[in-house]
Amino acid sequence: MKVTLFGTGYVGLVTGACLAEMGNHVVCVDIDQAKVERLERGEIPIFEPGLEPIVRRNHANGQLEFTTEAAPAIGHAQIIFIAVGTPPDEDGSADLQYVLGVARSIGQHLDRYAVIVNKSTVPVGTADRVRKAVAEELAARGANIEFDVVSNPEFLKEGDAVEDCLRPDRIVIGTSSERAVDLLRKLYAPFNRNHDRTVVMDVRSAELTKYAANAMLATKISFMNEIANIAERVGADVELVRQGIGSDPRIGYHFIYPGAGYGGSCFPKDVQALERTARAVGYEARLLGAVEAVNHDQKAKLFEFIQRYFHGDLHGRTIALWGLAFKPNTDDMREASSRRLMEALWSAGAKVRAFDPEAREETQRLYGHRDDMVLCDNAYQALEGADVLAIVTEWKAFRSPDFARIRAMLKAPAIFDGRNLYEPEAVEEAGLAYYGIGRGRSL
């Protein structure tokens, strides 16, 4: 089938590549000229396991094209995806300028029936606004062309995006148009061979499904962080509590890890946006507000521990940091807990020596060159001249370190483990102080 995708970020590029891999002819449009030029040269602007060979192969055989030109790309397709960013507005609601910009552009160039599929995470009611924007542009040029607008939210996880896209848990299709459902069923048939994963519903329910999924996951994390904060004060170990509750199949072990707060481009903005949506229709979403507030405080935890460890004075201290990305297997730094920590440390007069297997370039892009930040080539280099070590991202490479070597390199030997990677006793046996999240060793 002929498909066009607007936006070549984590969602657009992965979706485009996977659809091309299934034999579709895909054109990806982005307004970022530099990004399109890199993609044309076979360079992948983001780190996502397994993505590079799929993009290269399908670009080389002509199944996957990149362009900045909207008009021919719109003319190309039966199905047009919108997968552009929806960053938070000043008040926390989703900023729809990019989505509606694409909608207007589609209205300006559409020359025959197409299904317009919204993959961006957007508030309930956006499909109506997209429909209106397209219709206005069509009317402005006197064109009488039919089209459908569908909500098809994306559930891929950064770090597993290719796998999630090729083997989705569910494919939500929100529309009342049978014609659109038929076309999308055809497009997604190769992803449904094992069993049908399609859930068809009305467009508003589909839009809300995406927010509900992310809000539920964020709630699980904040809930566990709340339990961790209680555990810390009552001398309990949240890791044992986690196993104790996870064994109940109604609760399960997934996604109940306490830590230094959630980040990324989705949970923080989606929880906020859903809260704003609720408020706009006269409902105060108290639980969502609490989820957000707990997470905000949780991101300050490691800094508070480190500050107390040094009796409130961090001037001239050097903190080694393992992990910068908001989670492992990505280079994405949006809303990463590492950023709050680094910025707090800098404000308090400390220096940071950091290592991340993938997010170095992105960190450099965000913060430039500064005297109080050294980005290192490997984990142990980050410890050179450092006082203590803080861990913010649970990369596999950090799971079994040489504690004796860490002990020997640190000047004030302590590990602040923001992801509960280690057993406190193992660290303490090596002569290091250990502070995790909710492990009964508060400062």
SS3 81: strand
80 binds ligand NAD (CB under 6 A): no
Phi-psi bin for 303: left (phi > 0), alpha (psi -120 to 50), beta? alpha
Alpha carbon distance 196, 213 (integer Å): 20
Task: Please name the residue ranges forming H helices in 167-235.
Answer: 178-188, 203-234
DSSP bridge pairs for 201:
174
The tokens for 430 are 């090596």
Where is 407: in which H helix or E strand?
Answer: helix 403-409
**82 and 99 Cβ atoms separated by less than 8 Å:** yes
8 binds ligand NAD (CB under 6 A): yes
Q: Which residue stretch of 1-9, 16-24, 197-205, 390-398 sits at the interface with ligand NAD (rule: CB under 6 A)?
A: 1-9
The tokens for 378 are 């490997």
Q: Catalytic residue positions?
A: 266
419 binds ligand NAD (CB under 6 A): no
Alpha carbon distance 221, 238 (integer Å): 13
Alpha carbon distance 151, 132 (integer Å): 15
Looking at beta carbons only, is 37 or 384 nearer to ligand NAD? 37
Looking at beta carbons only, is 12 or 107 nearer to ligand NAD? 12
Task: Give least dist CB 161 to ligand NAD, A.
Answer: 7
Q: Which residue stretch of 4-12, 170-178, 241-249, 382-390 sits at the interface with ligand NAD (rule: CB under 6 A)?
A: 4-12
9 binds ligand NAD (CB under 6 A): yes
413 binds ligand NAD (CB under 6 A): no
388 binds ligand NAD (CB under 6 A): no
Where is 6: in which H helix or E strand?
Answer: strand 2-6
Number of H helices, E strands in the chain: 17, 14
Task: Give least dist CB 240 to ligand NAD, A.
Answer: 32
Alpha carbon distance 210, 52 (integer Å): 27
Alpha carbon distance 86, 33 (integer Å): 19
Q: Which residue stretch of 97-105, 132-140, 234-242, 248-256 sits at the interface with ligand NAD (rule: CB under 6 A)?
A: 97-105
Q: How many residues bind ligand NAD (CB under 6 A)?
A: 26
359 binds ligand NAD (CB under 6 A): no
329 binds ligand NAD (CB under 6 A): no
**Torsion angle, alpha carbons of 323, 328, 329, 335, to 10:** -80
Q: Which member of 80, 84, 213, 352 binds ligand NAD (CB under 6 A)? A: 84
Looking at beta carbons only, is 237 or 358 nearer to ligand NAD? 358
- Per-residue x/- marks for ligand NAD, 257-276, CB under 6 A? --------xx----------
Using CB positions, name the residue nearest to ligand NAD.
9
Amino acid identity, position 177: S
Q: Which member of 47, 66, 81, 98 binds ligand NAD (CB under 6 A)? A: 98
11 binds ligand NAD (CB under 6 A): yes
**Torsion angle, alpha carbons of 196, 198, 200, 204, to 10:** 160
Q: How far is CA 236 from the centre of its chain?
A: 31
Looking at beta carbons only, is 44 or 348 nearer to ligand NAD? 44
86 binds ligand NAD (CB under 6 A): yes
Task: Give least dist CB 85 to ligand NAD, A.
Answer: 4
10 binds ligand NAD (CB under 6 A): yes
**255 and 304 Cβ atoms separated by less than 8 Å:** no
81 binds ligand NAD (CB under 6 A): no
Looking at beta carbons only, is 83 or 124 nearer to ligand NAD? 83
Name which of 415, 341, 354 is nearest 382 in CA terms: 354
Task: Please name the residue ranges forming H helices in 151-191.
Answer: 161-166, 178-188
Looking at beta carbons only, is 87 or 385 nearer to ligand NAD? 87
438 binds ligand NAD (CB under 6 A): no
Q: Which residue stretch of 19-27, 31-39, 142-150, 387-395 sits at the interface with ligand NAD (rule: CB under 6 A)?
A: 31-39
307 binds ligand NAD (CB under 6 A): no
Q: Which member of 29, 203, 260, 291 binds ligand NAD (CB under 6 A)? A: 29
- Per-residue x/- marks for ligand NAD, 132-171, CB under 6 A? ----------------------x-x-x-------------
Burial of 197 (0-12, 13-18, 19+ CB in 10 A): middle
85 binds ligand NAD (CB under 6 A): yes
SS3 14: helix
Which residues form the interface with ligand NAD (CB under 6 A)? Answer: 6-12, 29-32, 35, 83-86, 98, 101-102, 120-121, 154, 156, 158, 265-266
